[in-house]
Amino acid sequence: MFWKSFSTTRTGEFHAAACALIPQVHWDFFENCIDWYETDDYIFVHGQLDPDLELAEQSPHEVRWARFHISQKPHRSGKKVICAHTPQVSGLPTDIGHAVCIDTYLYGGQWLTCLDVRCGKYYQANYLGKTRMLE
């Protein structure tokens, strides 16, 4: 896996031991994940998309690790892109019309966000067990 390439020898040994504890069924799940999910109106992706390329032409790095920018162009498909991997430190999603970033900085003490694209509502929860809904 990609993240394993960043390990030093000592760290790599620790990771190897820790990884040995993870059941194979979990590895199977991760190794069979898709890089994006597409519906008639939306494209869901962890990272970002090159707006000028078809989905099948996207690089794995782009769809997994590229950052969201408020100046990005719409995707050529015309579909709204729902992404993450770029923390919105305000704890609020950023919607620029043709794309929305729902990484709302949970690991920084903010919120975990889910977007119901059918109605446009955001559901959030935080470490303290608090929940809220945004429209």
Q: Rounded to whole angstroms, how far apart are CA atoms 47 and 60?
A: 9
Give the pLDDT band (50/70/90) at residue 10: low
- What percentage of the chain exceeds 70 in pLDDT? 91
C-alpha distances out from residue 43 to 1, 12, 17, 20, 100, Å: 24, 35, 36, 34, 11
Look at the pTM and tell me if it is higher than 0.85.
no
Write the pLDDT tens digit of every residue in 18-27: 888 999 999 8
pLDDT for 18: 84
Give the pLDDT band (50/70/90) at residue 99: very high
Cβ atoms of 74 and 57 within 8 Å: the answer is: no
Domain boundaries, the chain: 1-33, 37-134
